[in-house]
């Protein structure tokens, strides 16, 4: 679909007020198209002209207020409308095209049983792929859907089912929602139902994953009910969209999407293999995140995409908070500190950085690119600190007032800040200017002066990048830790509110006895790059394994990883810390994230000569974790995954596939087998025959995806050429298969073989952007980037592509950010 500019949206909103859509879909035809008849009712300025988004495969008829509209009025994804009346009825009968890229109405055939499944994803600007509509968030309307489908199918939408007669389904009209929130699924779905507090609940999944859903449904329903109860305690308006359905769909582009009444998740959230506590916790947080959107985003929707933070920052914050408060997963803030916040910090330092709430988002292309670590994790971090500053009671009071005023409508940053300011008695305009309107991140350090065994002065020093010189206020904790008898305990927590200044003396530490460790940002309230003082940093290898607070350990690990990214600490030092401290780590998410991040840094920051030894040390650390973990535990599984990804011991890995030498309690199930085979393929110890043999025994969607990734990873010229051709030129390949093919392509062990493809990326990726669109194109361009080919030559080629004046903005951002990552890696080596 063509991009929609903010100016066009504002002009259209001044002319049009949409009342309703009635969409009647016929999904019974075979092939790649479906029939859609839409009746749109809207008011307009008399005599005005405008347009709606519409991208048909063929048109049967178009009428406006009973008069035919020439088919030539449809061009470039838009239907031109002129001579509007005060009250209008647009009726369009057309044939529309299914997609294979996760946009519009996505069609998927399950390779395990040949069943067809459909799901609708109209996100940002894809509404015209299903119906003619005014596709912008501030033109809300009621949606009523009718569907004719094969008799054996199940159909669900945002609206509640009114009648079903064989394959004919009629659904009730929804409350007013934005076009991008209109949802539908259809196919032979396996369904589980329940009820809670008067709210009907349902879960949907492909029939071939019915067994997995049946096993995990009790936990999913329990989390859903607990989160609903907590949101009802927090918010004065109860869940506002009738039923609460959750569908787990194949090849979904997002982790999940908050469609009111019918939330859609990618079906990996119902794993077929052993599920870890980290994965269970993540699922709980995402359930809470999407539920938060029912208020932040669905009940009250941003007026335009520049206020995306009103959706994603709040849902990200509440996802972690509500999961911690309402479910058994009380450690979600540890996960946030080690994983989610790191995502935000990295995004905030790249060339594409932007404010949490930018003053201008020019069009929908730019809006898509802002679904990043800034809008999610940085925004959530800022909110966490704001709530601590305002107090929870004032925060919730302001939020509830905001909901009451803007229910089923749209709102802006100013609207919410006004409600929070009134509730708290604090003027938030200065806070918003520094935290929401300005980009980049501050670095926070402690400057320590001692008099013998007491502190003469401890000061917090705040710095900012030269190009983004903003200093900010912070609410922050400093943990004072002592080591005695093999235990590290916190003697005191010094809390401070510092202004937007460069240096702040902390009087609470003046004259205090010197500690073994000063932990800056203890409690993880502040958003910033945290650096320990020299004495504390030197003590970390000894003290880190002895800290009992998992959040404190997460803050230290995150700081250590980020220091390597910045080139302040060598990657070899990080690898040594992993070997000495990580085997004692008990928190699964910390084990998982540290192993993953360290391996990624080694792949880019270590030299060709030092990388094998560094990987071996990572493998040793993972091996020690496997040995120290309880048989069958989540920690054992994530450690085993880390070991598989780092080791070069192909004999050991091959033995695990045949059951030889498998650690006690470790289940080598279907997905762990594929992970082992993938590593063997990378190392040249398994070839096409082994991949096809594994696929023959696992003819499922997941098996096909693993096989695609494994084929792309083979150190074979023909395999690489076939994979590359699929990445850049095969439009018939589905979004997930092309992304996984790209994800398996670049391997640091294969640099010599891959060298010719570096220049091919920069020459051929613009062509890929012409055959793919939206998030699928962005994910493919990102996964296919030659990130492990760290060299000045790669940067030269990137500069050449960036000099192209007509470069697609999504590809420009991918290249710009990855090139900056490579700049860091080169300067650190």
Provide the pLDDT for residue 66: 97
Question: Mean of the pLDDT values across residues 778-786?
Answer: 96
Say whether 75 sits in a helix, a strand or coil: strand
Contact between 300 and 406 (Cβ < 8 Å): yes
Lowest model confidence (mean pLDDT) among 104-118, 636-650, 767-781:
767-781
**Cα separation, 757 vs 117, whole angstroms:** 36
Q: What is the pLDDT of residues 372-414, one digit of tens each?
A: 999 999 999 999 999 999 999 999 999 999 999 999 999 999 9
Say whether 533 sits in a helix, a strand or coil: coil
Mean per-residue pLDDT over the chain, rounded = 96
Helices (H), 489-549: 534-543
Say whether 70 sits in a helix, a strand or coil: coil
CATH topology of domain 301-318+326-435: Neutral Protease; domain 2 (1.10.390)
Q: Strand 116-121 vs strand 184-187: parallel, antiparallel, or unpaired?
A: antiparallel
Question: Mean of the pLDDT values across residues 531-542?
Answer: 95
**Cα separation, 227 vs 285, whole angstroms:** 10
Sequence spans of domains, the chain: 301-318+326-435, 442-526+528-565, 719-829
Contact between 188 and 115 (Cβ < 8 Å): yes
Residue 829: pLDDT over 80: no
CATH topology of domain 442-526+528-565: Immunoglobulin-like (2.60.40)
Question: Mean of the pLDDT values across residues 571-586?
Answer: 96
Share of the chain above pLDDT 70, in %: 100
Q: In what order do the strands lie in the sheet with 529-531?
A: 503-505, 454-463, 443-451, 529-531
Contact between 476 and 526 (Cβ < 8 Å): yes
Q: What is the pLDDT of residues 232-265, one digit of tens each?
A: 999 999 999 999 999 999 999 999 999 999 999 9
35 DSSP β-pair partners: 26, 95
Instruction: Work out the pLDDT band at 485, boundaries 50, 70, 90.
Output: confident
Length of the chain: 829
Contact between 340 and 278 (Cβ < 8 Å): no
- The CA-to-CA distance between both ends of the chain, in Å, stands at 43
Q: What is the pLDDT of residues 304-337, one digit of tens each?
A: 999 999 999 999 999 999 999 999 999 999 999 9
**Cα separation, 698 vs 326, whole angstroms:** 38
Residue 46: pLDDT over 70: yes
Provide the pLDDT for residue 290: 98
**Cα separation, 525 vs 221, whole angstroms:** 31
Instruction: Work out the pLDDT band at 774, boundaries 50, 70, 90.
Output: confident
Provide the pLDDT for residue 617: 97
Model pTM score: 0.96
Angle at 62 between CA 57 and CA 68, to 5 degrees: 145
Candidates 55, 258, 290, 592; catalytic one: 290
Q: Strand 262-266 vs strand 244-249: parallel, antiparallel, or unpaired?
A: parallel
**Cα separation, 36 vs 125, whole angstroms:** 18
Angle at 309 between CA 308 and CA 314, to 5 degrees: 125
Q: What is the pLDDT of residues 153-188, one digit of tens each?
A: 999 999 999 999 999 999 999 999 999 999 999 999
Provide the pLDDT for residue 1: 65
For residue 712, give the nearest of 751, 685, 733, 739 by alpha carbon.
739
Q: What is the pLDDT of residues 133-146, one digit of tens each?
A: 999 999 999 999 99
Provide the pLDDT for residue 2: 77
Tokens of 153: 């199918």
Contact between 20 and 144 (Cβ < 8 Å): yes
Q: In this structure, is the dihedral angle defined by the CA atoms of residues 322, 324, 325 and 329, taken in order, positive or negative?
A: positive
**Cα separation, 634 vs 627, whole angstroms:** 13
Say whether 476 sits in a helix, a strand or coil: strand
Instruction: Work out the pLDDT band at 441, boundaries 50, 70, 90.
Output: very high
CA atoms within 13 A on the CB side of 31: 9
Residue 783: pLDDT over 90: yes
Residue found under tokens 């949606």:
143
Say whether 97 sits in a helix, a strand or coil: strand
Please enumerate in sequence order all residues whose Cβ is within 8 A of that of 773, keeping only pairs 6 or more positions apart, or say none: 1, 101, 103
Tokens of 91: 């009726």
Separation in Å, CA 62 to CA 2, 15, 44, 65: 21, 21, 18, 10
CA atoms within 13 A on the CB side of 194: 16
Angle at 49 between CA 143 and CA 77, to 5 degrees: 60
Question: Mean of the pLDDT values across residues 683-693?
Answer: 97
Neighbours of 804 (CB within 10 A): 13
Neighbours of 400 (CB within 10 A): 17
Say whether 82 sits in a helix, a strand or coil: coil
Residue 693: pLDDT over 90: yes
Classify residue 806 as exposed, middle or buried by CB count within 10 Å of its CB (0-12, 13-18, 19+): exposed
Question: Mean of the pLDDT values across residues 65-89?
Answer: 97
301-318+326-435 and 442-526+528-565: identical CATH topology? no
Residue 727: pLDDT over 70: yes
Is residue 290 annotated as part of the catalytic site, yes or no? Answer: yes
Helices (H), 254-409: 277-293, 309-326, 332-335, 341-349, 364-369, 379-390, 392-406
Instruction: Work out the pLDDT band at 652, boundaries 50, 70, 90.
Output: very high
Question: Mean of the pLDDT values across residues 91-104?
Answer: 96
Helix (H) or strand (E) holding 484: strand 474-484
**Cα separation, 782 vs 775, whole angstroms:** 10
**Cα separation, 480 vs 535, whole angstroms:** 13
Instruction: Work out the pLDDT band at 828, boundaries 50, 70, 90.
Output: confident
Residue found under tokens 């943990």:
479
Instruction: At 608, give phi and psi (nearest 5°).
Output: -60, -30
């Amino acid at each position: 679909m063509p991009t929609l500019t903010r100016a066009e949206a504002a002009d259209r909103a001044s002319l049009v007020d949409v009342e309703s859509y009635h969409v009647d879909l016929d999904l019974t035809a075979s092939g790649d198209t479906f029939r859609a008849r839409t009746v749109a009712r809207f008011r307009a300025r008399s005599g005005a002209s405008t347009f709606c988004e519409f991208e048909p495969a063929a048109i049967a008829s178009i009428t406006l207020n009973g008069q035919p509209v020439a088919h030539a009025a449809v061009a470039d994804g838009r239907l031109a409308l002129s001579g509007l009346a005060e009250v209008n009825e647009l009726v369009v009968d057309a044939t529309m095209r299914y997609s294979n890229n996760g946009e519009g109405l996505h069609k998927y055939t399950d390779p395990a049983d040949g069943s067809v499944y459909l799901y609708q994803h109209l996100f940002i600007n894809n509404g015209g792929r299903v119906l003619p509509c005014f596709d912008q968030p501030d033109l809300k309307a009621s949606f009523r859907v009718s569907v004719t489908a094969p008799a054996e199918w199940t159909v669900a939408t945002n609206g509640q089912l009114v009648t079903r007669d064989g394959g004919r389904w009629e659904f009730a009209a929804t409350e007013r929602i934005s076009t991008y929130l209109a949802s539908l699924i259809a196919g032979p779905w396996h369904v589980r139902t329940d009820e809670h507090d008067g709210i009907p609940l349902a879960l949907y999944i492909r029939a071939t994953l019915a067994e997995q859903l049946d096993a995990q449904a009790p936990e999913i329903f329990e989390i859903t009910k607990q989160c609903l109860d907590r949101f009802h305690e927090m918010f004065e308006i109860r869940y506002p969209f009738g039923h609460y359905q959750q569908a787990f769909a194949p090849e979904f582009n997002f982790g999940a999407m908050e469609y009111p009444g019918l939330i859609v998740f990618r079906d990996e959230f119902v794993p077929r293999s052993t599920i870890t506590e980290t994965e269970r916790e993540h699922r709980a947080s995402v359930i809470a995140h999407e539920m938060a959107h029912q208020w932040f985003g669905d009940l009250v929707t941003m007026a335009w995409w520049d206020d995306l933070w009103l959706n994603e920052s709040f849902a990200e914050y509440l996802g972690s908070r509500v999961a911690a408060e309402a479910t058994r997963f009380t450690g979600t803030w540890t996960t946030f500190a080690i994983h989610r916040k790191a995502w935000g910090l990295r995004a905030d330092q790249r060339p594409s950085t932007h404010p949490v709430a930018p003053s201008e988002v020019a069009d929908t292309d730019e809006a898509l690119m802002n679904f990043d670590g800034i809008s999610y994790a940085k925004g959530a971090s800022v909110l966490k600190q704001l709530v601590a500053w305002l107090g929870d009671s004032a925060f919730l009071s302001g939020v509830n007032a905001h909901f009451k005023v803007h229910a089923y409508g749209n709102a802006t940053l100013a609207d919410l800040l006004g409600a929070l300011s009134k509730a708290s008695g604090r003027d938030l305009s200065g806070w918003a200017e520094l935290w929401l309107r300005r980009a980049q991140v501050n670095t926070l350090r402690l400057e320590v002066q001692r008099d013998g065994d007491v502190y003469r002065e401890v000061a917090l020093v705040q710095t900012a990048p030269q190009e983004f010189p903003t200093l900010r206020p912070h609410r922050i904790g400093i943990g004072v830790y002592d080591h005695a008898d093999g235990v590290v305990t916190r003697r005191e927590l010094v809390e401070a509110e510092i202004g937007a200044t460069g240096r702040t003396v902390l009087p609470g530490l003046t004259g205090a006895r010197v500690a073994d460790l000063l932990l800056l940002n203890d409690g993880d309230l502040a958003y910033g790059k945290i650096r320990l003082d020299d004495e504390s940093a030197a003590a970390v290898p000894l003290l880190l394994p002895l800290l009992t607070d998992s959040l404190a350990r997460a803050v230290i690990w995150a700081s250590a990883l980020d220091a390597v990214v910045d080139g302040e600490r060598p990657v070899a030092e990080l690898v040594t810390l992993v070997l000495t401290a990580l085997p004692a780590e008990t928190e699964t998410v910390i084990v998982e994230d540290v192993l993953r991040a360290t391996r990624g840094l080694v792949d880019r920051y270590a030299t060709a000569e030092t990388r094998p030894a560094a990987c071996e040390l990572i493998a040793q650390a993972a091996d020690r974790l496997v040995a120290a973990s309880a048989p069958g535990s989540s920690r054992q599984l994530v450690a085993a995954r880390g070991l598989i990804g780092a080791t070069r011991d192909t004999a050991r890995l091959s033995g695990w596939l045949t059951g030889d030498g498998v650690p006690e309690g470790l289940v080598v199930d279907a997905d762990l087998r594929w992970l082992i085979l993938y590593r063997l393929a990378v190392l040249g110890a398994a070839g096409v025959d082994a991949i096809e043999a594994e696929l023959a025994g696992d003819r499922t969607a997941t098996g096909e995806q693993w096989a695609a990734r494994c084929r792309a990873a083979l150190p074979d010229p023909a395999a690489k050429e076939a994979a590359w051709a699929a990445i850049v030129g095969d439009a018939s390949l589905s979004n997930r298969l092309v992304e996984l093919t790209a994800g398996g392509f670049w391997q640091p062990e294969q640099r010599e073989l891959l060298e010719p493809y570096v220049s091919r990326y920069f020459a051929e990726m613009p062509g890929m952007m012409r055959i793919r669109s939206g998030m699928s194109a962005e994910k493919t361009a990102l996964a296919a980037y030659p990130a492990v080919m760290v060299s000045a030559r790669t940067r030269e080629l990137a500069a050449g592509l960036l000099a192209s004046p007509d470069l697609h903005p999504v590809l420009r951002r991918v290249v710009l950010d990855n090139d900056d990552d490579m700049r860091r890696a080169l300067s650190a080596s």
